[in-house]
Structure 1
Amino acid sequence: MSTTAKVIAGVSFVLIVVLISAIVLSYGLINKTLPSLEGEVRTQFLIDTVQIYRDENGIPHIFAKNEHDLYFALGYVTAQDRLWQMDLLRRIASGRLSEIFGVQTLEIDKLFRTLGLLKTAQSTQKNLSGKSIEILKSYSDGVNFFIGTHKDKLPIEFKLLNYEPDEWTIVDCLLITRLIAWQLNFSWWAEPVFSEILSRVGVEKFKSIIPEYPDDAPVIIKKFLPPTGKFVDANVKFREMFGMVADGLGSNSWVVSGEKSETGKPLLANDPHLPFSLPSIWYQVHLNDGEFDIAGVSIPGTPGIVIGRNNYIAWGLTNVMLDDTDFYIETIDSTGTKYLYNGNWFELDVREEVVKVKGKGEYRFKVLSTHRGPIISDVYEFSFSEYIPKADAKFIASQAVSMRWTGNMISDEVFAFYKINHARNWSDFKTGLKFFAVPAQNFIYADIYGNIGYYCAGKIPIRENLNPIILNPGDTDNFDWVGFIPFNEQPSVFNPSEKFIATANNKIVGGNYPYYISYLWEPESRAMRISEILTSKEKFSVDDFKKLQLDYFSHYAKEMTQYIINAFNGVEVKDAFVANGINYLKEWNFNFGRDDIATSIFNSFLIHMMRNTFEDELGEELYKRFVFYSGIPVRILKQLIVNNDSLWFDDVKTTIVESRDEIIRKSFADGIDYLRNLLGDDMNEWRWGKIHQLKLVHPLGLKSPFDKVFNLGPFEVGGAGTTVNNAGFSLLKPFDCVLGPSMRQIVDFSENLLYSIIPAGPSGQIMSKFYDSQTKIYLNGGYLKIYFEVEKFRNEKTKILYLLPEG
């Protein structure tokens, strides 16, 4: 062996030894952090004994004899499985990511400091009901007891980032609820972007892209019966970092009465569409306080069941898509301390924020606010000098943009869900909804008595003068909010004649409703399919509901495909690949299956049609902002195609005037070329699942080599944003699936259980067997059963942890 070879061999051997040692040490370190799922734990915080059963799927069933102990145990158990996720969520909401990640997250921290979620949470704490304080205190004590007894056994993420979690507080719980509200807000995108489009293209072109909702498309309530630039960029960075970059960010829910159920009892289904992540967004749990069984999903860091059922009722949620935010162009005086309002100058509220930045020291900046809310127009102007952090509010031409958002109002969602969790009937349920403010949700309902219902719950602003789509003048009160829709006038229905209710982020109520709610609806395709199926036969079973939750049919594709085919009628097609692509569409059944080829062709056409229609007018940067949240652009594109709007289809960069059908043909050919470059010339290999894949990504898995350790996948999947089985992808980064059913749930009131599934598993600990225990089941369209009775879930695989009071 040569000297060089010996050296190489020796170095290789050393590297292998080091790698093996690292793996062994890491394995031991990670296993050390796994929580104890059985045995006894004593604590001074308990009144009585609590039994925590972990079923064979790792889902906790908590049996307590009083509410205090129940919520303490819920906090403890959630921390066992999801402590680092909880810590990350509160850091995002409070603007403290840079303490652990450094300057790369400073823009996100400045965004959330400016939004003022922490300030809102602190104010909210002072106005909570006594019951909410009790629940939050017990839950926080449970979290802190886990932290305090596991200082040397913290999840591996804390070790890798070299920090320890702070004590958990009531404010932290409230912060997470407001973070969820912000994630489900869409007006942050719409009004700034549409205002910029208006300034770019002028009034005539702008009018034709104002989103419409087809008159014949489904609404939730058939007829209303009155009862007796910078800010956007920072938000984009936040949503890109946490996977919120796809179309179809919404949910499905539907319920049928016992008259349409094979069992004679109501059936209810719900699947919220949110970014895929690790750990999963939801935490499955079953609670028993000695009187009520409550099962479903909670949000780690907050007490109570958000979606689920108890012994009497079941409920599901979908996003209202409420226009809950307005932006105002403010006039600031030369001193930068006052703003003009109704002819008078008022002092700006000034709040100094200090962000600790890992490796950089402190970053200080001022947040200015009007009576409406914070000024957000300077949200990401910051810089560091060599030694001294520096930041000041900056305004252009003495103007700034302020924001009013319902999420900065004081409300008590903890009490709302407490009342919902313990409701016995429709009246109790509505009592809980009265305390629910943000984010506005479509609540569907069913109960053991055979009733079904729907309520649009949340704070819905009433505007003095409606200007929903662009920024408002701030120097007058003409566009201020003048109140909120009274609770008893918010859309609702109880036991409708149709014997079913369906919601899919579609328009809520017809044109006779006296108040404005939104224009931010999702494409009507999912709502059409659900309504189509629910009217297709007389009786439904749990299996029918499972099949519908997994449905890949797209009404949007069906309608759009006909325009593609018609655009080629009578036109000689010389490109054999284009001709074959058209033939695939002619034979298509509009199901977005993972082995389908026409699906790949259609979606490739869609992204090129979008670009060829809008980018020439908007320019590259504004186009990217326009399609970032693609639910609205997808609606607008179909609207323009149906209306044959030549203003937008003409390419302004050419001397000729292009027609709609010319742009369709060009986009289709571009899409075919794109797939050839991506997948080769064998069209049999153009399977949708080959390019449309799901990867479950942990925040630390965003960078190599941790992606190999923390992430799961990729997995081939079907669907897209317009199918009931939603599998959204970004128009800017096709075709990876980054969004879809974050949970699937079905309730059959003839059974004392809950059907539930999440994409990963209950645990956030990477070496736990429950880290990805539901992934395969989820991908195969399966469900777990969460039983109420101990004898139904207790077997040789069940673990039991006893929490005991001291003494």
Structure 2
Amino acid sequence: MIRAVAAALLLTTAATAQEAPPGAFSESRALPGLTAPGEIIIDRAGIPHIYAANARDGFFLQGYAVARDRLWQIDLWRKRGLGRLSASFGAQFIAQDRAARLLLYRGEMAAEWAAYPSQAKGWTEAFAAGINAYVADVEAGRAPLPIEFSATNTRPERWQADDVVRIRSNALASNLTSEVVRARALCGGDLKYELLRRELAPAHTVSIPKGLDPCSIPADVLDDYALGTGDVRFDGQKIVVASLDPDIQEGSNNWVIGAGKSATGRPILANDPHRAHAVPNLRYLSHIDTPELKIAGSGEPALPGISFGHNENVAWAITIFAIDQQDLVVNPKATKLTEVRERIEVKGEPPREVVLKFTDDGPIIHEDPTSGRSFALRATWTKPGASAYFNASWAWTAKTWDDFLVARDHWGAPPLNLLFANRAGDIGWAPGGFVPVRAAGDGLLPVPAGKVHRWTGLLDAKLMPVKHNPADGWIATANEMNIPAGYPHMLGLEWADRSRITRISEVVGSKPKFGLTDAMALQNDPTSPMARRAVALLQGLAGRDANERGALALLGNWNGHEGPDSAAAALYEIWAARHLAASAVKAIVPEAARRNFGRTSIGNILPVLEDGKLLGPDSAALRAEILLGSLGLAFAETARLLGPDPATWRWGALHRADFQPSLPIAGRDAERRVGPVPIGGSGSTPMAMGTGPDFRVVSGASVRVVMDVGAWDNSMAINTPGQSGDPASPHYRDLFARWATGNYVPFVWSRPRVLQEAERIINVTPGR
């Protein structure tokens, strides 16, 4: 069979020159480790379409293609995750290496691989071998060494399959950071003000676990956790836990439209995961076509296959589903800790020995020398089968809803809303992820060590809620609380606000038929229901000075559309990010309780202002004071930033996409920078564009995919700024302008269409 397929591939390769566009460039490579001839066809958007004689070769060539585009990025990912930064970059990374090693999977590898499909280890070995084949080309001078390696005087390392699944620190998980912030706030604080800090859903009253002193949680308890999960910083600045900042908004949107509501007569499945932006970004589009496996979609470049996308029959999409998969466990003084000693290689210096400490609950992420207490991270990612996104491998061969539920049953991390559609017209929602069953408590605060607050196991995945072929013909998720009423099991209480799902539901629900162009427009919709809620609270108020009157005039009839040219959006975002929440906390929370209160955001403040119960007996007057006072301050600040005339204000003057690599290289930074460009949207719009403290875009959808289920050639996608991490490549920034303006490129599937889009054809044969 393999010989027949190889012969067919040779014939196909010979005919490629006639089938491909006249401008397509062709080259040949002999690759040791490949078993039969194949092709990597790079399309005009830089997306590799891989044709191989068998699935093993398909993953080998995917590894080779990824390394060709993203070698520095994936090499750094591996070194960071395994705790090998010091070996390349020196002693300043010893602490980060030690922290990363605390978070590795340390169970039996046989049990880990047994949690995935039987072919998964072989596929991953092939993927790693493909990366290593490209590294060998670099070492032999057949391929260029990326400039980052030259700038740091380092070299890429070789991969093993176990490296991919042992690294756990790339999984989004919750809610360790919010446990710590909540405990710190309750040290001298009052439970009744918790609503101002974080809205819980379903509605829930916070209680302090028996035996926990909130004041026992040190301010620096998460320093090692931040190091172990954080990006590599070459500027010497301290790594902090990004999710402690309520203005950092990472999430995702997805929706599936059933055939009856679809303008195509087939299901439409759309996905735009939101993560921190970078250059190159976190996602990579690819397509593998082999006799036994055909998949196309997006994933993280250091992982084989795809995280979401489609095969011949089924498409699936993902968003974070906020299962609480973590607890901080407080150990009393003199708790017996297990020690593991490891050697860290250090560039230019002798190796260092570090001590890693563990309890049965998990790694010790902090020891407090003053009190003698230690703090363990209890997390589901220590269990077999919790490698991030790796259980998508169960979906690669799915054909039916029941097949897809097998993927749901195995899903470990991160916890996800899994949306499904197939060519038969089925659609569905099946959230997945390991759910800890707590003997007591709700997971909202750290817990004392011991049996009372132990985990008794994991929830049977078959008890998770599902939705299959709903009567209204569509399903959408946007990280909101979407657990059905009356569901009996505790999954989590901390969700994203409902702004994005509110707008998505408005748009989808308003259209009798919903098409591919509608899906692309909705992924780029800059309308904020959050802003509309805030503006609604201003109705009937009268300004007391020029700033307040000017602000009310600008926002009074505004519809929440946050385009880059919007003056109202600029004022609203400055008000929401810098003034409204701070003013509300100052007015409502007594001074003594504000010491450790921390920051909050407008999404938590608005429900309190709308409800009024926490505002006291004269709630209307206090609400008006909070709104008007903060709005006047915001108007004055906007004038300082954008000039005295509101007619000239533009949201895009502050809100810009400007991507810069994390590694500065003298004399090369200008060519590696992508941007800046003005851009609309915000963290509360479907076109999610989370902002940093200076209003620069820091997170959102790097990749967007819209799939026409069954007519796969009609699918569309965009990645930003490009597929390649090499600034000399035409695909380093070529998609940035399209992404910023809401445009897409074809994400084709059939070989004829792939050849029509071909820019470069790499013919590969086995080498020695």
TM-score, with structure 1 as normaliser: 0.82
Task: Check 1:271–1:208 CA distance in 2 against 1; reply closer, same or farther (3 A cut).
Answer: closer
Distance in 2 between residues matched to 1:450 and 1:173, nearest whole Å? 35
- Offset, 1:377: 2.1
Residue 608 of structure 1 pairs with residue 579 of structure 2: yes
Structure 2 Cα separation of the partners of residues 95 and 801 of structure 1: 35
Deviation at 1:704, TM superposition (A): 6.4
Distance 1:395-1:368 versus aligned 2 partners, 3 A rule = farther
Aligned twin of 2:295: 294
Aligned to 1:314: 315
Trace 1:664-675 onto structure 2 (pairs within 5 A).
Answer: 664-675=627-638
Q: Are the counterparts in 1 of residues 100 and 169 from structure 2 also a CA contact under 8 Å? A: no
Q: Secondary structure at the match of 1:434?
A: helix
Equivalent residue, structure 2, for 1:792: 753
- Structure 1 CA distance, aligned partners of 2:37 and 2:196? 65
Deviation at 1:706, TM superposition (A): 4.8
Match of 2:639 among 639, 655, 676: 676
Equivalent-residue separation in structure 2 for 1:87 and 1:281 (angstroms): 13
Q: Spell out, residue by residue over 1:94-130, the C-alpha distance to the aligned partner (whole angstroms, 9 max, x if none).
A: 233344444555554343233x225369676565654
Is the Cα contact below 8 Å between 1:123 and 1:410 reproduced in 2? no
Q: 1:174 aligns with which of 156, 165, 170?
A: 165
Residues 446-461 of structure 1: matches in 2 within 5 Å?
446-461=421-436
Aligned to 1:735: 695
Distance 1:790 1:498, change over 3 A: same
- Structure 2 residue aligned with 1:259: 260
The Cα offsets for residues 196-229 of structure 1, whole Å up to 9 and x where unpaired, read as 10113133434664523488xxxxxxxxxxxxx2
Letter in 1 for 2:157: D
Which whole-Å CA distance do the structure 1 matches of 2:52 and 2:652 have between them?
46
Q: 2:719 and 2:422 mapped to 1: Cα distance?
A: 24
Tell me by how many angstroms 1:477 deviates.
1.2
**Alignment partners' CA distance in 1, 2:622 and 2:311:** 57
Q: Distance in 2 between matches of 1:231 and 1:798?
A: 51
- Cα distance in 2 for partners of 1:511, 1:395 equals 46
- Judged with a 3 Å threshold, the aligned counterparts in structure 2 of structure 1 residues 766 and 618 are, in CA distance, closer, same or farther, namely farther
Q: Give the Cα–Cα distance (whole angstroms) in 2 for the partners of residues 508 and 483 of structure 1.
A: 24
Cα deviation, residue 233, structure 1: 4.5
Measured at CA, do residues 92 and 645 of structure 1 come closer, stay the same or move farther in structure 2, by a change above 3 Å?
Answer: farther
The alpha-carbon deviation at position 248 of structure 1 amounts to 2.5
Instruction: Name the structure 2 match of 1:586.
Output: 556
Contact 1:93 1:118 in 2 (8 A): no
Equivalent AA in structure 1 for residue 82 of structure 2: S
Distance 2:703 2:153 in 1: 32
Task: Tell me, yes or no, if structure 1 residue 751 matches structure 2 residue 722.
Answer: no
Residue 592 to residue 762, structure 1, CA distance change in 2 (3 Å): same
1:160 is aligned to 151
Counterpart of 1:324 in structure 2 is: 325
Provide the rounded CA distance (Å) in 2 between the counterparts of 1:621 and 1:165: 51
Q: Name the structure 2 match of 1:512.
A: 486
What letter corresponds to residue 609 of structure 1 in structure 2? L
Q: Distance in 1 between matches of 2:131 and 2:285?
A: 17
The Cα shift of 1:362 comes to 4.9
Cα distance in structure 2, aligned partners of 1:200 and 1:105: 37
Q: 1:792 to 1:195 in 2, by over 3 A?
A: same
CA shift digits 1:505-557 (9 cap, x unpaired):
01121330101111221011111111111211221111111111111111111
The answer (yes or no) to whether the contact 2:181–2:598 under 8 Å persists in 1 is yes
1-side partners of 2:446 and 2:539: how far apart? Answer: 40
Distance 1:625 1:48, change over 3 A: farther
User: For the structure 1 residues 481 and 69, does the alpha-carbon distance in structure 2 shift closer, same or farther, using more than 3 Å as the test?
Assistant: same
| Aligned residue identity for 2:739 | Y
Q: 2:522 aligns with which of 544, 548, 566?
A: 548
Cα pair 1:464 1:478 within 8 Å, conserved: yes
CA shift for structure 1 position 291:
4.3
Contact 2:408 2:431 in 1 (8 A): no
Larger displacement relative to structure 2 (88-97 or 70-79): 88-97
Q: Distance in 2 between matches of 1:123 and 1:673?
A: 62
Residue matched to 1:428: 403
From 66, 71, 76, give the equivalent of 1:83. Answer: 71
Structure 1 counterpart of 2:606, from 627, 638, 644 = 638
Q: C-alpha distance in 2, partners of 1:175/1:322?
A: 22
Q: In the alignment, residue 535 of structure 1 is paired with which amino acid?
A: G
Selected match of 2:104 from 98, 107, 117: 117
Q: Is 1:716 equivalent to 2:678 in the alignment?
A: yes
Q: Conserved in 1, the CA contact under 8 Å of 2:189 and 2:592?
A: no
The residue type equivalent to 1:300 in the other structure is: P
Write the deviation string for residues 267-326 of structure 1: whole angstroms up to 9, x where unpaired: 111100111111121111111012443111121121111111121111100001221101
Q: Tell me, yes or no, if the aligned pair for 1:415 and 1:432 is still in contact at 8 Å.
A: no
Q: Secondary structure at the match of 2:362?
A: coil
Whether contact under 8 Å (2:55, 2:293) holds in the other structure is: no
Q: Deviations over 1:133-154 (max 9, x none)?
A: 2111111111111111211432
**Contact 1:250/1:274 (<8 A) preserved:** yes
Q: Does the 8 Å contact 2:46/2:731 carry over to 1?
A: yes
The number of equivalent residue pairs is 710
1:531 aligns with 2:505: yes
Give deviations 1:447-491, integer Å, cap 9, x for gaps.
Answer: 1111101111111111111232111121x3111111222111111
Shift of 1:360: 6.6
The change in CA–CA distance for 1:716 and 1:317 in structure 2 (over 3 A counts) is same
Unaligned runs of 5+ in 2: 1-23, 204-218, 234-241
Q: Distance in 2 between matches of 1:759 and 1:89?
A: 19
Distance in 2, matches of 1:643 and 1:729, equals 28
Aligned with 2:464 (options 490, 493, 499): 490
Residues of 1 paired with 2:617 and 2:101: CA distance? 42
Q: Which residue of 1 aligns with 2:419?
A: 444
Given that 1:253 and 1:268 are in contact with CA atoms closer than 8 Å, whether structure 2 keeps it comes out as: yes
TM-score normalised to structure 2 length:
0.86
Is 1:369 matched with 2:343? no
CA deviation profile, 1:622-676 (whole Å, cap 9, x unmatched): 989944xx6xx443212221233556999xxxxxx99332222221122112112
Pair 1:37–1:435, CA change in 2 (3 A): farther
Distance (whole Å) between structure 2 residues aligned to residue 619 and residue 37 of structure 1:
68
- Distance in structure 1 (CA, Å) of the matches to 2:506 and 2:766: 55
Contact 1:645 1:660 in 2 (8 A): no
Q: Which residue in the other structure is 1:804 paired with?
A: 765
Q: Which residue of 1 aligns with 2:722?
A: 761
The Cα RMSD (Å) is 2.9
- Where 1:803 maps in the other structure, the secondary structure is strand
Taking structure 1 as reference, are residues 415 and 646 closer, same or farther at Cα in structure 2, changes over 3 Å only? closer
Q: CA deviation at 1:564?
A: 3.3
Q: Deviation string for 1:542-597 (max 9, x for gaps)? A: 1111111111111111111122344x33xx5222x331211111121111111101
Q: Map Cα deviations across residues 380-416 of structure 1 (whole Å, 9 max, x no partner).
A: xxxxxxxxxxxxxx53312222111111211166773
Percent identical? 27
Matched residue type, 2:149? F
1:700 aligns with 2:700: no
Match of 1:16 in 2: none
